[in-house]
Structure 1
Amino acid sequence: MTERHLALYVRVSTEEQAASGHSLREQEEQLVEYARSHGFPRYELYCDDGYSGKSLNRPAMERLRADIRAGCVLGVVTTRIDRLTRSVADFARLVDEMNLHGVFYRSTRQNFEISTAMGRLVAQMLSVIAEFEREMIAERVHENLLAMAQRGELATKPPFGYRLVNGRLTPDPREARWVREGARLLLTGASPRDVAMEFNALGVRTKTGRLWTDRTVRTLFSNPALAGVSVWNRRKTQGSRRTEREPTEWVCVEGAHEAILSREEFEALRGMLERRRALSPRSQGSKRPLAGIARCGFCGSAMYAGWQVSKRGHERQKRPIYRCGRYVTGGGCTPNQVDASALEMLVVEELLRRVRPELEPVVSAYRAHAASNELRTVQRKRRVALARLSRLAEAYASGVVSEEAFSREQVRLLRVLEACREAEAQAAALSTTDGWDAWVRELCARLAGDPHLERALFLTVVREVRVFRPKRSREVDVDLVLRLE
């Protein structure tokens, strides 16, 4: 049987050490002295540096509890009860575990026994006081941070796009333009990896002079500072790790400094990044517009974006495709494979068909207004050209203009009149059904020629595309699940 040892537990949070100076070294010296003076030759130190006492999720505490359950611990000693925990519920749980495994507890500054009813009562009262003290410390820290933040005194390390001027964040003109360019790329469908590659290729570096990665791009464009919102107390140090606090502990100040992006742009960016993170890792950096969105209509698994290679003569040809992921990995589904360009065009057409009842009146009104403005401009231009042509004929008849100059100017004005007639016909066609269909075809062609824009549209509007293509069939059917449904 393993010989049991005395557990010496020490803990200090960053706020407590700064406020009281009760350091780990002082605690350790007191506990080692206690072990030696009370005749415990075997003891082991359990140290949680920079961890709050509001929960038991601490590395050394978890190791201590595991040793207690394993029967390796004879007793637990701390300098004060609040070193163990500042939660009444957690203290009651620890007392039950210690009593269950025959482990005693001692506090070098507070004398009581948890094995007796009176000792447990005293311990419970002390734990209530410790929890109250923790809440008071948290309130004071939050109030002080908020007051300092409102005065603009907390800015330390500026994010990319900013610099410190008299202790306040001020946009850096050289970096701010790259922030706007990166936001534009992300909002038009580029992935964080695409933005990182673009920045690295153009010689743009991070604040620390390193290359950009998809992670640093996501971190930058998730920072509310870009929208003029300063956030402090967002992260904390636990040992050697930096972790994020609960949002209720953040200190946020609106309008603390000049914004690089508008609030609407920042919210759109954050939504786009969150939707990308919801995709599978395989699809997050894909350039195919439907990667991570298209799913097999038969088995429900993701459709993989890939290539089909064919050989014609001595040349190899590649065409983009989507195919059922379960079929690719040998899961037993049908070979649900479709041409990527055809599927993307089909989804755009289906999306326009779904939203046409709501979209057509707005678009028709806009197009009618645009057509009337265009028509008035063209008619004015045509009247000016006719008047100039008339004056030119009079000048030629009077001998003021030579025949060569007359011919040259006449040809130019006739070309202007021909262009005006064509523009009038196009403006008149905008309000007709054929004009609407032509506009839809132009929109589809533009989206097909810009995969980034098409992916941005799908990520914003479409939650899922279910693809059905029966075996040996050329017909493809899709079922769209929109985010607004």
Structure 2
Amino acid sequence: MANRQTEEKITALYERLSRDDDLTGDSNSILNQKRYLESYAAQRGYTNIVHYTDDGWSGGNFDRPAWKRLVADIEAGKVAHLLCKDLSRIGRNYLQTGFYTEVMFRQNGVHFVAVANNIDSEEQDSGEFAPFLNIMNEWYLRDQSKKVSAAYRVKGKAGKPTTNNAIYGYKKDPEDKDHWLVDEEAAAVVRRIFRLAVEGHGPHEIAKILTREKVECPAYYLARNGRGCRKNTVDTSRPYDWYGFTVSSMLTKPEYMGHTVNFRSSKKSYRDKRVKNDPSDWLIFENTHEAIVDPETWQLAQQVKRTVRRTDTTGIANPLTGLVFCADCGAKMYNHRGKRKKAGREYSVDFYSCSTYTLTFERETQMCSSHTVSTKALNALILETICTTASYAIQNKEEFIQKVRSISQVRQQ
């Protein structure tokens, strides 16, 4: 009965390869690992073989998809034998690797074999050196981490992109992997996002517009073109899912002005997860690739993004929110609009008042004064200014362009 239950269980063959392992040659390739383990299983008469493969995953990270699936199957009692090429394939963290090989596998009745290390859990003497092998594997990972980190710093300080993938709107130059080219199809969407932001649309509103118009979201678009870090995991059933967070993140990227931004994140140890760095710690190299958005539009988008826009009872956000200031105290002016009643008659109001006075008029000591300006008068003044400016620009084109450029340079500084 016990033999039949064992036969019904699977023989798990686990393979793993990281970028660092690639440097050691073909002997560690996924294909060779599979052939090696299949040959060993056939010699021992193990049947019902199932492969669990993590390609491109570090041995210091146990949050690997195939490994997690294997652990779940072991805990469910589905695995009789587990074969791997050597202990470093299981992992390079000696504490976690030891937990699995010495505790978890035994508790679940799994026969474990690290073929190249001659470790077999059913042969008591074969595992005597396993702890030392685990320590050596971790030392290897630590050494590799130091080398990779040093190369990463050198590359980043040289102004080359440290990210493995170009951001949405760009693609890697096939002739120079450290140079980005504009991806015109995606760049058109990026330009539209900035244009909508400058017009006063918030990130969540922009996301709704793009979803409604069935514009492919960045993750799906990149995956469809075989690019991006999620090309193998993206949910292809939801290609038009845009989120406000995605739009908001795109609007803050200086890369769209043609700059390279390095060291956005860091980690103290190879065991730690990366954490975001403060923007003051970023290293920015200007004009390293073609810009999708000009600096004036990018800066304006940041300014508009910082302005809080709320819809009132009319359901319409005020386009002048955060742009009207008191001439006396310099504070922002509040917009008041809606319906009021007087002598049984309902009438509309729409005016601005000084926020300093509004917030203090009920106090014993009032600040500023109760002066107001109607939105109608303000709009007329704005229209008059636009007409005057347009007339001047038409008559003095070169002088007007020079003044606009000077003002833009002052704002950027």
Match of 1:8 among 13, 29, 34: 13
Give the superposition deviation at 1:261. Answer: 3.9
CA contact (8 A) 2:12 2:79 kept: yes
Is residue 2:132 matched to residue 1:125? yes
Is residue 2:108 matched to residue 1:97? no
Q: Decide whether aligned partners of structure 1 residues 190 and 127 sit closer, same or farther in structure 2, where only a CA change above 3 A counts.
A: same
Is residue 2:256 matched to residue 1:226? yes
Q: How does 1:425-444 map to 2 (within 5 A)?
A: 433=369, 437-439=371-373
Give the superposition deviation at 1:84. Answer: 0.8
Q: Decide whether aligned partners of structure 1 residues 352 and 104 sit closer, same or farther in structure 2, where only a CA change above 3 A counts.
A: farther
* Structure 2 counterpart of 1:191: 202
Note the alpha carbon deviations across 1:331-387, whole angstroms, 9 max, x for none: xxxxxxxx99469x99x9796557669xxxxx97xxxxxxxxxxxxxxxxxxxxxxx
* Structure 1 unaligned spans of 5+: 236-244, 276-286, 291-304, 306-318, 322-338, 358-362, 365-432, 450-485
Cα distance between partner residues in 1 of 2:121 and 2:11: 16
2:74 maps to amino acid: I
Is residue 2:285 matched to residue 1:255? yes
- Percent of aligned positions that are identical: 20
Match of 1:88 among 94, 97, 110: 94
Q: Decide whether aligned partners of structure 1 residues 221 and 38 sit closer, same or farther in structure 2, where only a CA change above 3 A counts.
A: same
Q: Decide whether aligned partners of structure 1 residues 269 and 38 sit closer, same or farther in structure 2, where only a CA change above 3 A counts.
A: farther
User: Partner of 1:106: helix, strand, or coil?
Assistant: strand
1:289 maps to amino acid: T
Q: Decide whether aligned partners of structure 1 residues 153 and 60 sit closer, same or farther in structure 2, where only a CA change above 3 A counts.
A: same
Q: How does 1:395-410 map to 2 (within 5 A)?
A: none
Give the superposition deviation at 1:267. Answer: 10
CA contact (8 A) 1:10 1:27 kept: yes
Q: Decide whether aligned partners of structure 1 residues 157 and 44 sit closer, same or farther in structure 2, where only a CA change above 3 A counts.
A: closer
Q: CA RMSD in A?
A: 5.6
Q: How does 1:307-456 map to 2 (within 5 A)?
A: 320=315, 341=338, 433=369, 437-439=371-373
CA contact (8 A) 2:13 2:82 kept: yes
CA contact (8 A) 1:7 1:75 kept: yes
1:246 maps to amino acid: R
Cα distance between partner residues in 1 of 2:92 and 2:61: 8
Note the alpha carbon deviations across 1:252-271, whole angstroms, 9 max, x for none: 64225368448994994797
User: Partner of 1:30: helix, strand, or coil?
Assistant: helix
Match of 2:48 among 22, 26, 42: 42
1:257 maps to amino acid: N
Give the superposition deviation at 1:6. Answer: 2.0
Over alpha carbons, which structure has the higher Rg? 1
* Structure 2 unaligned spans of 5+: 226-238, 266-272, 317-335, 341-348, 362-366, 383-413
Give the superposition deviation at 1:52. Answer: 2.3
User: Partner of 2:116: helix, strand, or coil?
Assistant: coil
Q: Decide whether aligned partners of structure 1 residues 163 and 24 sit closer, same or farther in structure 2, where only a CA change above 3 A counts.
A: closer
Give the superposition deviation at 1:26. Answer: 0.5
CA contact (8 A) 2:354 2:372 kept: no
1:67 maps to amino acid: D
User: Partner of 1:254: helix, strand, or coil?
Assistant: strand
2:60 maps to amino acid: K
Give the superposition deviation at 1:157. Answer: 4.7
Give the superposition deviation at 1:149. Answer: 3.9
CA contact (8 A) 1:12 1:49 kept: yes
1:126 maps to amino acid: L
CA contact (8 A) 2:37 2:84 kept: yes
Is residue 2:3 matched to residue 1:69? no
CA contact (8 A) 1:227 1:262 kept: no
* Equivalent residues, number: 300
* Structure 1 counterpart of 2:234: none
Q: Decide whether aligned partners of structure 1 residues 179 and 100 sit closer, same or farther in structure 2, where only a CA change above 3 A counts.
A: closer
Q: Decide whether aligned partners of structure 1 residues 145 and 53 sit closer, same or farther in structure 2, where only a CA change above 3 A counts.
A: same
Q: Decide whether aligned partners of structure 1 residues 225 and 47 sit closer, same or farther in structure 2, where only a CA change above 3 A counts.
A: same
Question: 1 or 2 for the larger relative contact order (CA 8 Å, sep ≥6)?
Answer: 1
Structure having the larger proportion of residues in helix? 1
